[in-house]
Chains A and B, each alone.
Chain A
Amino acid sequence: MNSNIKRKFKILYIIGLVLLFASLFLEWYVFQVYNSSDKLIAYWSYNPLIGWSTIFSKGSTFNNIAKPGELQMPLVLTGLFMVILVISGFSVIFKDIESQNDLEKLFPYSYVNLFLIALNLYYIFAFPVFYLLPHKLYFPFLLIKDREMDVVYYYSIGPGYILQIIGFIMIFPYSTFYYNTLVRFKSKEQSPDKVIKKYVQHVQETLDLDKLIANEELKLKFVDKPIDIKEDFEFNYKKVKKRRAKP
């Protein structure tokens, strides 16, 4: 069961990446207006790459009046999202965690995967909160009947945004697992030499010879009477004490 579960989540991750990529070319938000006879009189859909678009011609007056305000989502971020998606896909397909001997080399890919999650979450959260709501575009679905004008307004998130949500559920488990596994097993793989070197540095008393030399030079130049040695070592002693106090 164990070996299968990882493969299943890996496939799920790849499908998630495809869905996230596809979402960038679909509608994220749809705004429609129907008249009393259920005829569509205005239609606007939002996509992060091309902005608002409509199925009506430019000459349709009511449609033009009903157009929501520009959301101005940064295109750079969308471009970055696409690049991260490609790198992440590459890492999952070609840099399998199980068959690598040097886990340290996989760390950059794990950070890319985490960044992808962060961007994905940003879109899920920031799109409605910072772009839709300030323009009175309601989330996630709302139907408002305007009895004065005798029209019905439909506000709804589009398939692109829904794919962002589904994509998040699909990519989150594997990328978290990827990162956690690296952190967990990489720490065990650290070379003993490095660990020992770090530990030796940690326990050794700090000796700042440059500072001691500078102090002596100062004494030689400006002070006639000898200065108490305590001053020179007080700093180092405190430093060592502080370091040792750490668990």
Chain B
Amino acid sequence: MNYTVLDTKLKTLIKLCKETKNYKKLAVVAFILTSNILDEIGIKLGIRPRDKASEETQYRYMKLVNSILTKNFKLILFKDEILDSINLIEREFLKRKGEIPLDHITEIFKIYYEIRKIDVPNLHKQWESNIISEDSDINLYSFLSPAKRQKLNSSENKLKPLILHKLKTKERTIQKELNSSYDKNLFESVIYLKKAKNSLKKEENGKIILTGQLKDNIEYQRSLDNILGYSFIGVFILFFLLGIIVTLEAILFPLLTAAMSFLFLVTYCVSVLFFILYWKNFRNEES
């Protein structure tokens, strides 16, 4: 989203609402903006969006995000002060149906801009070692990224317990730093370390995810059998079409109906036969 455009429009709206004394509109806009930014943060972190249908408050959602992040990364994303004020203002907003004092509106806009400043990494994206700051010694663990991990030989595998220990220690240090002051790069480092750790553990279970071209994909290899099914559909379509042509001809020239009877039988029977063959042998495979 282009925040410059949004801010300019918001400025205009605030000015106009002040003139019309339509503060309720401003309050609603502020809450929608905060709700949207919270959804974005949550989704980026792999958390569900706020459940508006069951009237989950923004405060509760922020608490949920905090609890998940604390559990996984020992990180508190939304500070207590923000949580307290949003709780207070939101309760009043819901109780008074948007008619909240001007200072509350100012406060909620402040909270919105405060939350907007939080730049969270996208947990869904693929992590590569080069996204981590070059100054950081996290790069040392980059050989655990899925692509590079495959190159590990057996002698290096013996180092796994030591590597795991090192990873945990490093993770703890960064988490401490992160809690004293939030920094996107530090957060990315923690996520990266966690991924590296999980990846190493998965390897112990013998589960290695391979990436490559379609020909290497087992699902693609299985789907190759469908091609035979498509030829059955092709024959079905063709004979059905020929059947329609013969039917139209018989309608146009009724005298030919007797002569066409054999063609009727052949075209429609073949089409039905191939459809049944396809349905019985390939339909389930495709779905």
Contact with B along A154-179 (1 / 0, CB 8 A): 00000000000100110011101100
Question: Which residues of A have CB within 8 Å of B235?
Answer: 169
Contact with B along A205-247 (1 / 0, CB 8 A): 1010110110011011000001101001100000010001000
Residue of A nearest to B212 (CB): A101
Given the contacts A5-B225, A100-B214, A195-B124, A220 and B16 also touching, CB distance less than 8 Å: yes
Picked from A174, A191, A195, A216, the residue with its CB within 8 Å of the CB of B22 is A216
Nearest Cβ on chain B to A203's Cβ, whole angstroms: 4
Q: Chain B: interface secondary structure?
A: helix
Q: Chain B: how many interface residues by the 8 Å CB criterion? A: 64
B254 contacts the other chain (CB 8 A): no
Question: Which residues of A have CB within 8 Å of B24?
Answer: 229
Given the contacts A2-B221, A125-B241, A217 and B25 also touching, CB distance less than 8 Å: no
**In the docked arrangement, what's the CA distance between A165 and B19, Å?**
75
Does B22 contact A219, Cβ atoms closer than 8 Å? yes
Does B225 contact A2, Cβ atoms closer than 8 Å? yes
B122 contacts the other chain (CB 8 A): yes
Does A168 contact B224, Cβ atoms closer than 8 Å? no
Q: A36-44, A72-80, A138-146: which lies at the B interface? A: A138-146
**In the docked arrangement, what's the CA distance between A64 and B12, Å?**
83
Given the contacts A172-B237, A196-B122, A232-B25, A213 and B16 also touching, CB distance less than 8 Å: yes
Given the contacts A169-B231, A203-B49, A205-B36, A219 and B214 also touching, CB distance less than 8 Å: no
Residue of A nearest to B231 (CB): A173
Does A216 contact B20, Cβ atoms closer than 8 Å? yes
Does A192 contact B249, Cβ atoms closer than 8 Å? no
Given the contacts A138-B249, A200-B39, A172 and B241 also touching, CB distance less than 8 Å: no
Q: Chain A: interface secondary structure?
A: helix
Question: Which residues of B have CB within 8 Å of A124?
Answer: 238, 241-242
Q: B27-35, B137-145, B146-154, B169-177: which lies at the A interface? A: B27-35
**In the docked arrangement, what's the CA distance between A172 and B241, Å?**
14
A94 contacts the other chain (CB 8 A): no
Picked from B32, B39, B215, B226, the residue with its CB within 8 Å of the CB of A99 is B215
**In the docked arrangement, what's the CA distance between A97 and B224, Å?**
12
B261 contacts the other chain (CB 8 A): no
B64 contacts the other chain (CB 8 A): no
Nearest Cβ on chain A to B60's Cβ, whole angstroms: 16
Question: Which residues of A have CB within 8 Å of B35?
Answer: 204-205
Does B28 contact A165, Cβ atoms closer than 8 Å? no
**In the docked arrangement, what's the CA distance between A101 and B223, Å?**
18
Residue of B nearest to A174 (CB): B227
Q: Which residues of B contact A (CB under 8 A)?
A: 6, 9-10, 12-13, 16-17, 19-22, 24-25, 28-29, 32-33, 35-36, 39-40, 43-44, 49, 52-53, 98, 122, 124-126, 213-215, 217, 219-228, 230-231, 233-235, 237-238, 241-242, 244-246, 248-249, 252-253, 256, 259, 263
A-B contact pairs, 11 of them (CB 8 A): A98-B213, A99-B213, A128-B245, A133-B252, A139-B249, A142-B256, A176-B230, A196-B122, A207-B32, A209-B13, A220-B16
- Assuming A6-B224, A200-B44, A209-B10, what are 9 further A-B pairs, CB within 8 angstroms? A2-B222, A121-B241, A177-B226, A196-B122, A199-B43, A204-B35, A204-B39, A213-B13, A227-B22
